[in-house]
Amino acid sequence: MSKPLEPILILSYFFPPCNLTAAQRTLGFATYLHQFGYYPIVITRNWEKKISSPDDMHHDSGKAIIHEKHENYEVYYLPYKGNLRDRLYAKYGNEKWIFLRKLLSFIELTGQHFHTDFIPFSNLYHFADEYISKTPSIKKIIVSGNPFEIFRFGYKLSCKHSISWIADYRDDWNTTEIVETRGLFGSWLKRLNVWSERRYMKTAFCITSISPFYARKIGVFNNRPSEVVLNGFFPKDYEKFQQHDLYNEFSIVYNGMLYASQRIEVFLDAFKRFVDAHPAHRSRIRLRFPGILFLEEVAKRVEGFMKGYEDVLELLPRIPREKVLEMQAKSHVLLMVSHGETKGIPSSKIYEYLGLGKPVLVCPTDHDILHETFESYNLGRIAENQDEAFQYLNGWFSLYLSNGYGSLVADRAYTQRFTRDHQAGVLAEILDRID
């Protein structure tokens, strides 16, 4: 007789049907941990309200607790009811009650360090607390952040129930190298955040994060053991895209968000030079940015830099994931852009691109996880500068013109190590070490 699965609680703000990338990480844990002896019970917020813009997360969603049982895990979706600040923002946006909203934000962001109920989704904590009280077989918890306030839940549950928990960082909190303008209010919050992070982490069994660089620096900052659990991809999501016909035009895609720290201009300079080098084939070249219109200022940045090249440029709104995957599968090159010299930021696109098995250009490189991942990938190319990117584009374009693209086949033995099930196995090995 096989050994019964050990129940394990997973607390995560993001979980499907949430359509944001963060939801995929905990879905991977929930889907595959049964293969390694664990039965996940996920506690998350309700996601009936679709997320089309960042503002949509301020809206109420759901009115009752929804319990769903899947084959190898179960989920509790708890109603999300925004606080007064959220309701004001949802109704008036930035048009009215600006000072009141700022005051309420100050109260919330300060108060949540001292009392759990200042957190808008504190019902996740209260539900988990009651669930653990009624289910003594729960001995281990995974708490996945951000939002980083959720780590307070792991801390409180650990103290109250003497239960072991893992702090799973999708991003770094106070160790981020992305500099933000603070001011007096921001500096006050920063001190509180540092105080809380170190206090909460004292009770964590260990810290997990999405890259070696992140795990190392977060662990050192908190003086806690740290482990790497990559994001990965679901192989089944990409099976039907493996033999997809390519676009008639030579197509390059950059999917998703673009931040100020990403020097997309290095690639765009190379791309414009590439277009200019092939005037007879200009109508057969496309550069596509699905999802970039999600943030208007980002779209304007690219649009402004590409003046005179509008005929080869497509800036698109956020579109359904299936459509984005199809667009990428039909493309000839997928683009990765590092955050300058900032290390350890492994965009979720890494794993999407590997899952699709497409040629990938990293430009510019980060000399870290992007570089290491795609340098070892047989279809990956690393461009340190505009000249190198230009040369790689020309090489791929020559294959395109000679109908030789069929010779580019991904090394599936390499990409397998980045699957969600493989990474769930890594997490299970950590869980197994908890007494």
Q: Which of 356, 287, 290 is nearest to 323 (CA)?
A: 290
Q: Nearest 10 degrees: CA dihedral of 218, 224, 225, 231?
A: -40
Helix (H) or strand (E) holding 45: strand 38-45
Distance CA 332, CA 253 (A): 8
Helix (H) or strand (E) holding 429: helix 420-432
SS3 355: helix
pLDDT at position 256 = 79
**Cβ distance 212 to 202 under 8 Å?**
no
Where along the chain do the CATH 3.40.50.2000 domains lie? Answer: 6-232+420-432, 235-418
SS3 82: coil
Amino acid 296 reads E
**Which range has highest mean pLDDT (100-114, 254-268, 393-407)?**
393-407
Q: Which of 128, 153, 158, 135 is nearest to 143 (CA)?
A: 153
- pLDDT tens digits for range 88-139: 666 666 677 777 778 888 888 889 999 999 999 999 999 999 999 999 999 9
Q: Which of 145, 147, 192, 151 is nearest to 170 (CA)?
A: 145
SS3 310: helix
* 367 or 215, greater pLDDT: 215
Distance CA 109, CA 177 (A): 21
- pLDDT tens digits for range 218-236: 999 999 999 999 999 999 9
Q: Considering the chain, what is the average pLDDT of its residues? A: 91
pLDDT at position 262 = 86
pLDDT at position 280 = 96
Percent of the chain surpassing pLDDT 90: 69
Residue 203 tokens read as 């009770």
Give, in degrees to the nearest 5, the angle at Cα 335 between 250 and 178: 155
Q: Look at residue 12 and tell me whether its pLDDT is greater than 70.
A: yes
Q: Which residues contact 258 (CB under 8 A, 6 or more apart)?
A: 264, 289, 292, 295, 298, 301, 302, 337
- pLDDT tens digits for range 281-307: 999 999 999 988 887 888 889 999 999
Q: Which of 9, 14, 45 is nearest to 27 (CA)?
A: 14
Q: According to the CATH classification, is domain 6-232+420-432 in 3.40.50.2000?
A: yes
Q: Which CATH architecture has domain 235-418?
A: 3-Layer(aba) Sandwich (3.40)
Q: Which residue has the tokens 């939002």?
A: 147
Query: Rounded to the nearest 5°, which phi and psi values hold at 225?
Result: -60, 145
pLDDT band at 53 (very low <50, low <70, confident <90, very high): low
Q: Which residue has the tokens 């930021």?
A: 345
Between 81-85, 146-150, 184-188, 248-252, the lowest mean confidence (pLDDT) is in 81-85
Percent of the chain surpassing pLDDT 70: 93
The backbone region for 70, taken as left when phi is positive above 0, alpha when psi lies in -120 to 50, beta otherwise, is beta
Strands 226-228 and 313-315: unpaired
pLDDT at position 291 = 87
In the β-sheet with 226-228, what is the strand arrangement from edge to edge? 66-69, 74-78, 38-45, 6-12, 140-145, 164-169, 206-209, 226-228
Tally the C-alpha atoms within 13 A of residue 47's C-alpha that lie toward its C-beta.
17
Q: pTM for the complete prediction?
A: 0.81
- pLDDT tens digits for range 138-180: 999 999 999 999 999 999 999 999 999 999 999 889 998 765 6
Q: Which of 122, 139, 9, 21 is nearest to 74 (CA)?
A: 9
Other beta carbons less than 10 A from residue 399's beta carbon: 16
Helix (H) or strand (E) holding 229: none
Strands 6-12 and 38-45: parallel
Distance CA 331, CA 328 (A): 5
pLDDT at position 29 = 98
Q: Which of 363, 372, 340 is nearest to 212 (CA)?
A: 372
* Omega before 17 within 30 of 0, i.e. cis: yes
pLDDT band at 259 (very low <50, low <70, confident <90, very high): confident
Helix (H) or strand (E) holding 364: none
Other beta carbons less than 10 A from residue 398's beta carbon: 10
DSSP character for 223? T
Distance CA 174, CA 191 (A): 9
Q: Nearest 10 degrees: CA dihedral of 382, 388, 391, 397?
A: 40
Q: Which residue has the tokens 């209260």?
A: 126
- pLDDT tens digits for range 204-223: 999 999 999 999 999 999 99
